[in-house]
Amino acid sequence: DIQMTQSPSSLSASVGDRVTITCRASQSISTYLNWYQQKPGKAPKLLIYAASRLQSGVPSRFSGSGPGTDFTLTISSLQPEDFATYYCQQSYSTPQTFGQGTKVEIK
C-alpha cells in the first residue's frame, strides 16, 4: 500500500496568513493526489484534485502543487472559514489511502 504522510499534524495561524501543508507519498503517484477539507461533525469536501486542479466553487486562495512524491496545499490568505482539518488522498492505486490529516487552528 502507498503510505501518505502529512506535515505538520497541526498548526496555528492567524487570519490573513499564508499556510502551506505538505503531503509525501511513499512512492511516485504522478498527479493522482487530492485534497479535502473537513470541519467538525461534517463530511469532507473536495478542494483540489489531480494535484493542482481547483474543484468548482472552491475559492482561488486554495492551490496545490505536485507531481511525484511531494505535494503541497497552500492557502494564500487564511480566512475564518478555513479553520478545519485537511487530508490528502492518493488515487494512484488501490487501496486509495489518506494522509493522517492536518488540523489548522486559530492562533
Partner 1 sequence: EVQLLESGGGLVQPGGSLRVSCAASGFTFSSYAMSWVRQAPGKGLEWVSAISGSGGSTYYADSVKGRFTISRDNSKNTLYLQMNSLRAEDTAVYYCAKSPGTIAVKSYFDLWGRGTLVTVSS
Q: Which residues bind partner 1 (CB under 8 A)?
A: 32, 34, 36, 38, 42-46, 49-50, 55, 87, 89, 91-101
Q: Which three cell numbers stand for residue 49?
A: 484534485
**Which SS3 state, helix, strand or coil, does residue 80 take?**
helix
Please, is 79 exposed, middle or buried when counting C-beta atoms within 10 Å of its C-beta (0-12, 13-18, 19+)?
A: exposed
Q: Which is nearer to partner 1, 17 or 103 (CB)?
A: 103
Could you tell me the smallest distance in angstroms from the CB atom of residue 14 to partner 1? 26
Could you tell me the smallest distance in angstroms from the CB atom of residue 99 to partner 1? 7
Q: Which is nearer to partner 1, 36 or 71 (CB)?
A: 36
Q: Which is nearer to partner 1, 17 or 67 (CB)?
A: 67
Closest Cα to residue 21, out of 2, 57, 48?
48
Could you tell me the smallest distance in angstroms from the CB atom of residue 95 to partner 1? 5
Count how many residues are written for the chain. 107
